[in-house]
């Protein structure tokens, strides 16, 4: 029976090629958009190398200072992180690293621009970089102000071609560094680890950064296990209550949260308070928007199904006159819809692969390599199949209720 349904369904789809094309395009397009957007979100917030320990990592991105007529969110400074966050007792490790900044080098008279990040030694113990050559600099290098650097593979190729970079020197913003390690390229949207060149914080040209409450640094915290995360967050809230106010005339209270990037974004978008992240609510909104977006191909299918029913009333009348039951007719029409949806899903999957490959090849996002998230594809296809069945059941049920005599006369629903 199912085999006959499939054969008949395929012939029906080929009979009205334009309607079939419109349906397939709607399903495939919706899946492509859903998969590509989900891939972008996954690559920004997901646990990809070198953030393999993302389930145990928290970061401090912003501090909110509030006064009577003032509300400001700023990046934390080195002094705040060193004095308050680094001395927290609950975390296993705490690291301080800077916002990546543009740095200039010259090679044979040609200017080379790179992203430079300043870090401490603990940075390399929390994050799991893949070293192609050498290794990281250490906490001792940072303390002793050693001019050493870790570079990514792209920077090695710019300066040294395919030769080894270990022990060789590069000049960055007028300072000379010895290369001690080479790592894989890290995509731009990996907020904490991204850079082209990493150097010790202490190699800054002056020590002014040590005096700043607000600045251009971030805190990176590693918990011993996931069960410690709530305790770390609670300890940080207690730390904020004991912060020595650097400007009592402007600020009365400071707010912030140790959280992952998704939590920080949720606090900015939904709560507008840095100490009130709403990750579950943000995820719910994303899922609702995805579901609403998938309604579009469902509506398209319903309209086309109604058109098909109107032109098949005579066929329905003949089949009912020869004893076809309502259940049989509904089953046939649903199978046709599922077949159409599966074909559209396959086309959407292939198109999404091409789009992701094109995005990776064109380097719209620096060093990005987008991959298909099969979990997202399966979820998207599942939603599409649900809407495909949903959009077929009601018109099929109405079709099956037609009186055979009226159907043979070309009656309408």
Do 76 and 183 sit in the same domain of this protein? yes
371 Cβ partners below 8 Å, 6+ apart?
Answer: 39, 356
Range of the domain at 71: 63-255
Do 111 and 159 sit in the same domain of this protein? yes
Decide if 413 is inside a domain: no
Q: Tokens representing 36?
A: 């590509």
Decide if 262 is inside a domain: no
Quote the radius of gyration of the chain (alpha carbons, Å): 30
DSSP 8-state secondary structure symbol assigned to residue 99: P
Taking residues 197-207, report their average pLDDT. Answer: 96
Q: Which of 196-205, 250-259, 368-377 has the lowest average pLDDT?
A: 368-377
From 216, 239, 255, the end of a domain falls on 255
Q: Quick check: 13 pLDDT over 70?
A: no
Instruction: Specify the higher pLDDT residue, 41 or 373.
Output: 41
From 197, 221, 255, the end of a domain falls on 255
What percent of the chain is modeled with pLDDT above 70? 78
Do 166 and 96 sit in the same domain of this protein? yes
Q: Which of 152-166, 206-220, 328-342 has the lowest average pLDDT?
A: 328-342
Query: What is the DSSP track for 39-88?
Result: HHHHHHHS--TT-TTGGGEEEE--EEEEETTEEEEEPBPHHHIIIIITT-
Do 247 and 104 sit in the same domain of this protein? yes
Do 141 and 231 sit in the same domain of this protein? yes
What percent of the chain is modeled with pLDDT above 90? 42
Give me the chain's average pLDDT, please: 83
Query: Residue 358 has what pLDDT?
Result: 85
Confidence at 48, pLDDT banded by 50, 70, 90: confident
Query: Residue 227 has what pLDDT?
Result: 95
Decide if 127 is inside a domain: yes
Do 224 and 95 sit in the same domain of this protein? yes
- Phi and psi angles of residue 150, each rounded to the nearest 5 degrees, phi first: -110, 135
Q: Which of 103-112, 185-194, 299-308, 348-357 has the lowest average pLDDT?
A: 299-308
Confidence at 312, pLDDT banded by 50, 70, 90: low
From 237, 255, 273, the end of a domain falls on 255
Give the Cα separation of 364 and 228 in Å (integer): 38
Q: Quick check: 8 pLDDT over 70?
A: no
Give Cα separations from 173 to 103, 176, 202, 305, 333 (angstroms): 6, 8, 15, 66, 69
Residues 81, 217: contact at Cβ < 8 Å?
yes
Query: Residue 307 has what pLDDT?
Result: 67
Confidence at 30, pLDDT banded by 50, 70, 90: confident
Overall domain count for the chain: 2
Q: Quick check: 200 pLDDT over 70?
A: yes
Give the Cα separation of 168 and 217 in Å (integer): 28
Sign of the dihedral defined by the CA atoms of residues 384, 303, 15, 403, in that order: positive
Cβ count within 10 A of residue 262: 16
Do 289 and 323 sit in the same domain of this protein? yes
What angle, rounded to 10 degrees, do the helices at 326-362 and 17-45 form?
50
Decide if 190 is inside a domain: yes
Q: Which of 26-40, 184-198, 250-264 has the lowest average pLDDT?
A: 26-40
Do 288 and 247 sit in the same domain of this protein? no
Decide if 356 is inside a domain: yes
Query: Residue 99 has what pLDDT?
Result: 95
Do 247 and 329 sit in the same domain of this protein? no
Q: Quick check: 326 pLDDT over 90?
A: no
Query: Residue 288 has what pLDDT?
Result: 85
Query: Residue 72 has what pLDDT?
Result: 83
Q: How many CA atoms lie within 13 A of 21 on its CB side?
A: 4
**pLDDT per residue as tens digits for the range 382-412:** 766 776 677 667 666 666 666 555 555 555 4
Do 102 and 24 sit in the same domain of this protein? no
Decide if 51 is inside a domain: no
Decide if 372 is inside a domain: yes
Confidence at 319, pLDDT banded by 50, 70, 90: low
Residues 393, 330: contact at Cβ < 8 Å?
yes
Reported pTM: 0.81
Do 239 and 310 sit in the same domain of this protein? no
Do 112 and 32 sit in the same domain of this protein? no
């Amino acid at each position: 029976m199912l085999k006959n349904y499939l054969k008949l369904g395929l012939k029906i789809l080929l009979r009205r090629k334009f309607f079939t094309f419109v349906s397939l395009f709607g399903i495939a397009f919706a899946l492509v958009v859903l998969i590509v957007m989900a891939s972008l979100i996954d690559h920004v917030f997901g646990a990809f190398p070198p953030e393999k320990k993302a389930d145990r990592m928290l970061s401090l991105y912003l501090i909110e200072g509030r006064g009577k007529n003032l509300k400001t969110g700023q990046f934390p400074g080195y002094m705040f992180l060193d004095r308050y966050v680094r001395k927290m007792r609950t975390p296993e490790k705490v690291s301080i690293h800077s916002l990546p900044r543009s740095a200039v080098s010259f090679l044979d008279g040609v200017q080379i621009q790179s992203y430079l990040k300043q870090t401490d030694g603990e940075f390399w113990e929390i994050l799991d970089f893949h070293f192609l050559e050498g290794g990281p600099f250490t906490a001792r290098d940072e303390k002793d102000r050693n001019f050493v650097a870790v570079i990514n593979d792209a920077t090695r190729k710019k300066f040294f071609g395919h030769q080894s970079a270990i022990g060789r020197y590069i000049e960055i913003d007028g300072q000379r560094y010895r290369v001690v390690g080479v790592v894989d390229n890290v995509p731009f949207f990996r907020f904490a680890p991204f850079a082209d060149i990493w150097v010790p914080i202490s190699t800054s040209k002056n020590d002014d950064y040590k005096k700043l409450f607000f600045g251009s640094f971030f805190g990176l915290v590693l918990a011993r296990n996931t069960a410690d995360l709530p305790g770390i967050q609670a300890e940080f809230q207690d730390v904020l209550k004991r912060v020595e106010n650097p400007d009592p005339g402007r600020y009365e209270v400071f707010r912030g949260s140790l959280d992952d990037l998704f939590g920080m974004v949720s606090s900015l978008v939904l709560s507008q308070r840095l100490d009130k992240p709403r990750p579950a609510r943000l995820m719910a909104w994303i899922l609702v928007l995805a579901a609403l977006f998938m309604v579009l191909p469902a509506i398209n299918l319903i309209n086309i199904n109604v058109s098909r029913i109107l032109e098949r009333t005579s066929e329905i009348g003949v089949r009912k006159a020869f004893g076809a039951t309502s259940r049989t007719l509904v089953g046939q029409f649903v199978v046709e819809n599922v077949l159409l949806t599966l074909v559209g899903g396959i086309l959407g999957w292939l198109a999404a692969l091409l789009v992701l490959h094109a995005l990776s090849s064109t380097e719209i996002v620096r060093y990005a390599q987008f991959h298909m998230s099969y979990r997202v594809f399966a979820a998207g296809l599942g939603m599409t199949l649900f809407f495909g069945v949903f959009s077929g059941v009601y018109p099929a049920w109405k079709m099956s209720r037609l009186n055979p005599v009226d159907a043979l006369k070309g009656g309408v629903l």
